[in-house]
Amino acid sequence: MKFYKSILASTLLLTMSQGAFAHSNYSDELILQKTENLKLSTDKINDFVIEAGSGKLKVIASDVDSIEVVAEIYQRKAHNDYCLDLKKIGNKAKLESASCNHNRDTRIDLTIEVPENLNLDVEDGSGSINISGVASLKLKDGSGSINIRNVNGKVEIDDGSGSIDIKHVENDVSIDDGSGSIHVRNVSGKVTVSDGSGSINVNKANSFELLSDGSGSVNVDNIAGKVIMDD
């Protein structure tokens, strides 16, 4: 009987502990508190600068004449201690999206529609990035996966960590990457890569140059011109 009671007590304690742990984890989760919508006309605007902190970033270019932003604000408890602003500065548009005052209790997921003729300059902290259809792209990213599609101009990426997948670029592609796999396909110009670690796969480009590579396999196929590998 004592042995049975001991097992019952241990089982009950374990169940209560698991419940408390699950409740603790749930309370630490960021919850969607509200959604904000921003809009800016792109009349006489050529460039779009995005400075984003933590959160997903999705940019889609289409036949529109304005920048439209849908910002989803995730927090443990609702508050206004975050930065979100879209404005025109000269011939540029600038979007700032981040937590403020070192407050990490906010994540902002961004879905942005832009005109096809805009040049994009992005500085992002963390979170997945999906960009398609823009005129050109310059991207500096801390961490998170990167997916780029259908860019008419140059693509320049400076990335800390996370996978990079690029497809259909009508100009040169330059990648400076810390870690994570790299996949590049269907590039009309030159592909240049500096890589710390992770596999590199390039299929169909005008030329290819590997400036540096720490570790990971390198696979290059269907290159029209020169292929230069680091020593």
Q: What is the DSSP letter of 120?
A: E
E strands along 101-152, which residues?
106-115, 119-126, 129-132, 136-143, 146-151
- Range 123-138 burial, b when 16+ CB lie within 10 A, else e: ebbbbbbbbbbbbbbb
pLDDT digits 0-9 by tens, 159-177: 999 999 999 999 999 999 9
Helices and strands (DSSP H and E) totals, the chain: 1, 18
Is residue 142 within 8 Å of residue 162, measured between CB atoms? no
Whether pLDDT at 3 is above 60: no
pLDDT of residue 153 exceeding 80, the answer is yes
78-92 pLDDT per residue, tens: 989 899 999 999 999
Quote the pLDDT of residue 184: 98
Cβ distance 127 to 74 under 8 Å? no
- Looking at residue 12, what is its pLDDT? 39
Mean pLDDT of 58-87: 95
Of the listed ranges 100-114, 129-143, 193-207, the one predicted with least confidence: 100-114
The pLDDT, as a whole number, for residue 99 is: 81
pTM to 2 decimal places: 0.86
**Which pLDDT value is given to residue 15?**
43
The single residue listed with the structure tokens 């497809």 is: 167
Angstrom distance (rounded) from CA 60 to CA 41: 16
